[in-house]
Amino acid sequence: MVSIKKLGIGGGCMFFFGIVTWCGFPSLIRSQIKKAIMLKPGSEIRDMWSNFPLPLDFKIYLFNVTNPDEVVQGQKPKLQEVGPFFYDEYKVKIDLIDREDEDSVEYSIKATWFFNPKKSHGLTGNEDMVVPHLMILSMALMTLKEKPAAMPIIGKAVDSIFHKPDSIFVKAKAKDILFDGLPVDCTVSDFAGSAACNVLKTEAKDLVPDGENRYKFSLFGGKNGSVLPQRMKVLRGIKNYKDVGRVLEWDGKPALDIWPEDHCNQYNGTDSTIFPPLFGPDDDIVSFGYEICRSVSAHYRYHSRIKGLNTLHYTADLGDMSKNPEEKCFCPTPDTCLTRNLYDLSKCIGAPIIGSLPHFYDSEPNWLDLVDGLHPTQEDHEMDMDFEPMTATPIRAHKRLQFNMFVQPIPKFKLMKNFPEALLPLFWVEEGILLDDEFVNKVKVVFKATAVVNFLKYVMVFGGIGMCIAAGGLYYKNRKENSGKLDITKVTPKSGNTEKSWNTMNISTIQAATVPANLDKN
């Protein structure tokens, strides 16, 4: 009986703890994840968020113009994609300032690129490229848009600063176009050249000094290793884990001021480097891209599996301001809206750049008809990402953007007098990541622990039930045996002086036994 009782108590306790584990462990895991995602000073996630130890994959693809002379005469541009020029990109957050009252942290951003020849597929940066001179083209297009009457002055300024170029196209090394820079001579003294240089010195963000009144212009050289002057402020998620990373301010402002409607100026979502955990397919992934002065939403597409983890696959695009009323405020003018997946960046970066997905992927087909050499594919040109939803870890991501310019004939600018009308692709970039096994294994720890607990909870619940059933069965069996068996070891009846001894009688069925009369009398 003591063993049966112990077995029953043990089974009950095991069952109880199994149920507690079954019901309580998921809540415990969620609670721990919420705590782990908080951007507390000194925490592991804070250190990784501010100074991620792995480089991002930064790939640049240039479009080489193979028929520049024909384009100048009005023919369709023929393009040859050259790339990727692969760079290891390190993005760090520096000069962090915490504000406990609003649960926020403010920081500056520093980006540094290092060329990676091993991943550049044989490209070295010394390849000769024929591309439009982006500074000359920008000067011409911005003047045409804002002050068309000043086109003759711009023509003279270009002749002065760039030493009378005979074409809008320039032949240069890829590394000079990307980082090392093309020369800009502002030692000129003529009126047109001096005036243009004064504007360039104050507004051109990518000029790098190269001597007195001499500069270098490149796509990324001015940004490489430098700290952005604007600062970002985000919530830390200590008071509410759902707010972690949510943007509060950019450049000291609670909202942008470049778009005509408030909802387009709002900072929706996070800073794109951290996301709230515990989401599902019904939740969009929203982030604010300071590089393009707007927020972008990524939408769930399907379940995926990356490096042994169950993930959710999301895709994003640039929207359609021509059809979506919520995006009308991104139109260049109220009467001129760009079509699907085209986005005017001129108000954001101060240059006449039109953003798109690479190779005009998922844009109207008419843009592809204006140039030769583009071949859009979903796998290579879509913006996509795979998230582990419990921890909100981006296991794999590709942020892709192509930079283009609208070109057209400009009669008063000799270098583009007979130009064709086209949306001319210049280059495109991909910023991506695929977490290595070390970081993936850290995420897997959560699921390994969950798997162990899931196994144990079944063992405890069903083992406890089994032990209780066994204890009950043994108790019932023992009780039945005891209640159905009467052991009489010795009966000594007395009648006068006569004593008679009865042998031990085992009676298994009481109702069927015949009781002696003299025993009945006693």
Do both 29 and 82 map to the same domain?
Answer: no
Asked if the structure places residue 441 within a domain, the reply is no
Asked if the structure places residue 120 within a domain, the reply is yes
Q: What pLDDT, on the 0 to 100 scale, is given for residue 223?
A: 93
Q: What pLDDT, on the 0 to 100 scale, is given for residue 72?
A: 95
Do both 479 and 405 map to the same domain?
Answer: no
In 3D, which of 142, 220, 223, 139 has the Cα closest to residue 182? 220
pLDDT at 509 over 60: no
Domain carrying residue 262: 55-133+168-181+218-435
Answer yes or no: are the C-beta atoms of 39 and 456 closer than 8 Å: no
Q: Where are the beta strands (DSSP E) in 269-378?
A: 285-289, 294-306, 309-316, 342-344, 354-356
The number of domains in the chain is 3
User: In which band, very low, low, confident or very high, does the pLDDT at 482 lie, cut at 50, 70 and 90?
Assistant: low
Q: What pLDDT, on the 0 to 100 scale, is given for residue 159?
A: 95
pLDDT at 471 over 70: no
Asked if the structure places residue 192 within a domain, the reply is no
Do both 246 and 264 map to the same domain?
Answer: yes
Mean pLDDT value across residues 401-422: 96
Average pLDDT, the chain: 87
Do both 104 and 240 map to the same domain?
Answer: yes
Asked if the structure places residue 158 within a domain, the reply is no
> Can you tell me the distance from the alpha carbon of 183 to that of 163, in angstroms, rounded to the nearest whole number?
10
Answer yes or no: are the C-beta atoms of 363 and 340 closer than 8 Å: yes
> Can you tell me the distance from the alpha carbon of 329 to that of 412, in angstroms, rounded to the nearest whole number?
32
- Reported as a single tens digit per residue, the pLDDT across 94-104 is 999 999 999 99
Do both 286 and 259 map to the same domain?
Answer: yes
Asked if the structure places residue 156 within a domain, the reply is no
User: In which band, very low, low, confident or very high, does the pLDDT at 22 lie, cut at 50, 70 and 90?
Assistant: low
Do both 390 and 314 map to the same domain?
Answer: yes
Interior/surface letters 427-438, b for 16+ CB within 10 angstroms, e for the rest: bbbbbbbebeee
Conformational region of residue 163, where left means phi above 0, alpha means psi within -120 to 50, and beta covers everything else: left
Question: In terms of pLDDT, which residue wins out, 522 or 120?
Answer: 120
Do both 492 and 473 map to the same domain?
Answer: no
Asked if the structure places residue 297 within a domain, the reply is yes
> Can you tell me the distance from the alpha carbon of 383 to that of 393, in angstroms, rounded to the nearest whole number?
17
Lowest-confidence region among 191-205, 372-386, 497-511: 497-511
- What are the residues whose beta carbons fall under 8 Å from the beta carbon of 284, sequence distance 6 or more? 297, 298, 299, 300
Question: In terms of pLDDT, which residue wins out, 488 or 509?
Answer: 488
Q: What single string gives the DSSP state of each residue in 194-224?
A: HHHHHHHHHH-TTEEE-STTEEEE-SSTTTT
Do both 352 and 497 map to the same domain?
Answer: no
pLDDT at 255 over 90: yes
Answer yes or no: are the C-beta atoms of 150 and 156 closer than 8 Å: no
User: In which band, very low, low, confident or very high, does the pLDDT at 243 lie, cut at 50, 70 and 90?
Assistant: very high
Chain centroid offset of residue 219 CA: 25
Q: How many CA atoms lie within 13 A of 513 on its CB side?
A: 13
Answer yes or no: are the C-beta atoms of 99 and 230 closer than 8 Å: no
Asked if the structure places residue 8 within a domain, the reply is yes
Asked if the peptide bond before residue 493 counts as cis, ω within 30 degrees of 0, the response is: no
Asked if the structure places residue 45 within a domain, the reply is no
Coil vs helix vs strand at 486: strand
Do both 234 and 102 map to the same domain?
Answer: yes
- What is the Cα Rg of the chain in Å? 38
Counting runs of H as helices and runs of E as strands, what totals does the chain give?
A: 13, 22
Q: What pLDDT, on the 0 to 100 scale, is given for residue 505?
A: 44
User: In which band, very low, low, confident or very high, does the pLDDT at 197 lie, cut at 50, 70 and 90?
Assistant: very high
Q: Taking each helix axis from N to C terminus, what angle separates 191-203 and 151-161, rounded to the nearest 10 degrees? A: 90
Do both 474 and 504 map to the same domain?
Answer: no
Lowest-confidence region among 64-73, 256-265, 490-499: 490-499
β partners of residue 314: 300, 385
- What are the residues whose beta carbons fall under 8 Å from the beta carbon of 317, sequence distance 6 or more? 341, 357, 362, 383
> Can you tell me the distance from the alpha carbon of 477 to that of 23, in angstroms, rounded to the nearest whole number?
34
- Reported as a single tens digit per residue, the pLDDT across 317-342 is 999 999 999 999 999 988 899 999 99
Do both 471 and 345 map to the same domain?
Answer: no
pTM for the predicted model, two decimal places: 0.84
Do both 287 and 418 map to the same domain?
Answer: yes
pLDDT at 443 over 90: no
